[in-house]
Structures are given as structure tokens and as C-alpha cells.
Amino acid sequence: MDDKKLQLDELLVKHKVQPFGMGYIDCIVMKENLSAFLADLDDIGIDVTGVSMWCHCTDENITAHGCPHGGAYSPSRYHDGYFSEMYHMEFKNEIDSSADVLAYVFSECESDEFYVPCVQPGLWLDVPDDWRNTEYIVPAEEEKDETMKVVKKAKSNEKEINNMVLLVSICSFIVNAFLITVFPLPSFAHPGFWACGIICGVLGLRMKVRHADEELARGKKIREFVKMFFLGLAVYFGVAALLAFTLIPIIYIISC
């Protein structure tokens, strides 16, 4: 067997690179491992001829970025979740050096209209067509079904939280509208306004903790509370604006 192929297979394991398929195209590598992997490829004399992009679908990315964004599916061997191919993003094939790969992955691809922060590169390596890698995974149907259950569960959780924020905002606005008639102060000065943010923050955090697969760190709990707090205030203003533009004209017409 070719020594260079053996070296390449060792590099795939070393840098946790996962090819999609049996050959050496779409070798998916995490961005934090890309520079070191490219340096080792240069050392053994293997060039990169193209770069595809893959959505890395994990519980965290589902919540943060709305994954999955791509098509073809491949369970991850080394990391959580799975990868789906961003076939609608540009395929980079004008590559003269490793520097071109790095420039595309860390800068140029961000101008693509379909770019999302969850994407990871898949490298096309210039090797003989008959080479077969040792890292190929055939996606088992039960693994795929389990992963899709995780996706659906995360989206369901987000929907539940969004419904809670909307309900709290509407109730808070109604309470605040009553308080304003009794105590004519600016809306933001009434307790109902701030109570909306606090209630959304507390309930949102409790729901996040309940649905989480592991204990959330203190810093993440604080970030989640702050995010839900301001989301509650933002939705409150949205509800207020919507009701103002619909109810006030109706009341005015009726009173006339």
C-alpha cells in the first residue's frame, strides 16, 4: 500500500477529519483544526483542489442558528450531531495553495448569501481515484431517525418558549394599560413593563434548563436570562404597536 495513503489516513484520525463517501472528497474538518491539517497535507505533498461547506447540526446550533440548512446527511464520527451539505453555497475550486483555502473558509465565504455561522469546510483532496479512506461511515437509519428526533425536539422547545413570551407580553400589556389609566405615567415607567421582561427571563430560563440534556453553566444561565428578558421587552413593544395601530382607530371610529 502507498505510504502516502497511510500517512493521509493517519492525518484524518489525528485532525478528526471525516470524508463524506469512500474516497477523499468532502473531507469535513472543523475550522479550529483546519490550519494544522493543511500544514500536514503540505508536508506529505497532497494538494486541495476544492472546498465545499457543510452545516454542523448540533443541539446548540439548532437553537442558535436554526439548523439544519443543507441537504445530504452524514452522522459525525468525532463530534456531536451530524453534517448536512450546503449545496446552495459556492463551491470553491480556484485553489493554488493552503492560504487560498484559509482565506475562503475564514473570510470570503461569509459574503455568500447562504452563509451561516454553523458551516464547516469539506476539502477535496488531489489523490488517485482508486484510493479508499478508512473513515467512511454508512449512516444507519436508526441513527438518522434519532438525530431527526433531536432536531424536532429542539424546534418544538423553541416554539414553546416563543409562545410563552408572546402570552406574557400580551398579558403584561393589558395589565400595564390598566395601570396607565390609574397612574398616568409613561409605559416604560410602569411595573407591568419591567415585569414582562423579568417573567420572560425567569420562565424562559426555567424552560431552557428543563429541556437541556446537561447542567447549564452559571454564565450560560445568565446569558439565557438576559436574552429572554430583552426578548420579552421587544415583543411587548411589538404587541403595543400592533394594538395601537388596530384598536385605537377602531375605538376612535366607534366613539365618533
Q: What is the pLDDT of residues 58-116, one digit of tens each?
A: 888 888 888 888 876 778 888 888 898 898 898 998 899 999 999 999 999 999 988 99
136 has a pLDDT exceeding 70: no
On whether the CB atoms of residues 57 and 155 are closer than 8 A, the answer is no
pLDDT band at 224 (very low <50, low <70, confident <90, very high): confident
Same domain (yes/no): 128, 159: no
Last residue of a domain, one of 139, 164, 191: 139
Angstrom distance (rounded) from CA 95 to CA 62: 32
Q: How, if at all, do strands 27-28 and 18-19 pair?
A: antiparallel
188 has a pLDDT exceeding 70: no
**Residue 7 in 3-state DSSP?**
helix
Same domain (yes/no): 116, 175: no
Last residue of a domain, one of 88, 113, 139: 139
**Which domain covers residue 224, as residue numbers?**
151-255
Strand partners for 52: 122
Edge-to-edge strands, sheet with 27-28: 18-19, 27-28, 119-125, 48-57, 82-85, 73-75
Q: Which three cell numbers stand for residue 125?
A: 483532496
Determine which helix (DSSP H) or strand (DSSP E) holds 182, and give its type and residue range: helix 141-182
pLDDT of residue 235: 76
pLDDT band at 140 (very low <50, low <70, confident <90, very high): very low
Residue 225 lies inside a defined structural domain of this protein = yes
Same domain (yes/no): 92, 202: no
Mean pLDDT on 160-187: 65
Q: How many domains does the chain have?
A: 2
3 has a pLDDT exceeding 50: yes
Instruction: Quote the pTM value.
Output: 0.57
Angstrom distance (rounded) from CA 143 to CA 249: 55
